[in-house]
Amino acid sequence: METVDIVLSEINKTLSLWLEAFAANLPNILVAALIVTLFYFLASFLGGWINRMLDKTHLHASLKVLLSSAVKILISVFGLFFALGIVGLDKTVMSLMAGVGVIGLALGFAFKDLASNLISGLFIAIQNPFDIGDSIKIKNISGTVQTIRLRDTILSSGNGQKIYIPNKTFMEEALYNLSQTGEKRFDLTIGISYEDDLAEVIETLKQDLAGSDHLKKDKKVIVQVKEFGPNAVYLEINLWIDVPGVDSIDFSNTAMVAIKNSLQKNGFHIPLASFNNQNTPRPVLN
């Protein structure tokens, strides 16, 4: 029982000291709480004001959110450290700062890919290599930009799928923005029989395809000999369309039907053997 009484006595003394210290520091605590509250409202006000100012610029939405959020966080953290200093917790402030540095370093190693994507997203927002609605191609992946976020970019493919591409990919790989030039070239390869007159085939295809819908009027249809295969002469056909505005899948189908009809109407032939031989080129659409 004596041991229990001693322990209880020590607890009471400790609690009394804490209460006395709290009462002595109560004015500072109230001032610190008031400062934290004021800095919180200041951060919200300045963050909203900066966001409204940025709405008048042409910056990406993701960059606007990042800048306004950064201002809010910096002001709030400064207010918190200032309040801790008022209540005499200077050493705590230094410990917190050191802890934040150590934790930040550890997280940097643990989430280096995430950090790389975030930094890349920031560069994308600043450099503006593409915008929402642009048709782009990267690493044999094509699609329309649907959403630009700090960590990744979402593309909408032609078959309705969503493609999530990490932003660091845009810093490491070649990017093709088809919408910035406003045009796109389709390359089609077909095989023609050796018995057909090449000059006549080329001229006929040029004339028949020139009237196709959605073709750019200021670009000529180009038909040229690509390769002499064992079973056919291969021709490459270059067609230009406007981007955006023309559906690539619909146009490719229309173009191939037009080519087939032109050849059939004029008595030209696509040798069946040219499709069966795996060592020769096949009709492709780039």
Q: For 110-124, what is each residue's pLDDT tens digit?
A: 556 777 777 777 777
Hey, which residues does 239 pair with through a beta bridge? 186
| Mean of the per-residue pLDDT values of the chain | 75
Cβ(226)–Cβ(234) under 8 Å? yes
pLDDT, position 279: 44
Dump strand ranges (E) for the chain.
135-138, 141-148, 152-156, 162-166, 175-177, 183-192, 222-228, 233-242
Distance (Å, whole) CA 282 – CA 187? 12
pLDDT, position 249: 67
Distance (Å, whole) CA 121 – CA 66? 10
Judged by average pLDDT, the poorest of 96-100, 217-221, 282-286 is: 282-286
pLDDT, position 280: 42
pTM of the predicted protein model: 0.48
- Could you give all domains of the chain from N- to C-terminal order, each with its CATH number? 2-110 (1.10.287.1260), 129-179 (2.30.30.60), 182-276 (3.30.70.100)
Distance (Å, whole) CA 275 – CA 261? 18
Confidence of residue 107 (pLDDT cuts 50, 70, 90): low
Phi, psi angle pair for 212, to nearest 5°: -65, 150
Confidence of residue 276 (pLDDT cuts 50, 70, 90): very low
Cβ(187)–Cβ(286) under 8 Å? yes
Instruction: Answer with the residue of higher pLDDT: 6 or 105.
Output: 6
Place of tokens 């709290």: 22
pLDDT, position 164: 92
Instruction: Answer with the residue of higher pLDDT: 250 or 167.
Output: 167
Mean pLDDT within 86-100: 64
Distance (Å, whole) CA 248 – CA 213? 12
Q: For 211-236, what is each residue's pLDDT tens digit?
A: 777 777 778 888 888 888 888 889 89
Using the predicted structure, report yes or no on whether residue 277 has a pLDDT greater than 60. Answer: no
pLDDT, position 284: 39
Q: For 156-209, what is each residue's pLDDT tens digit?
A: 886 778 899 998 888 888 888 877 777 778 788 888 888 888 889 888 888 888
Hey, which residues does 184 pair with through a beta bridge? 241
Distance (Å, whole) CA 74 – CA 35? 15
Q: For 35-73, what is each residue's pLDDT tens digit?
A: 888 888 888 888 778 777 877 776 666 667 667 777 888
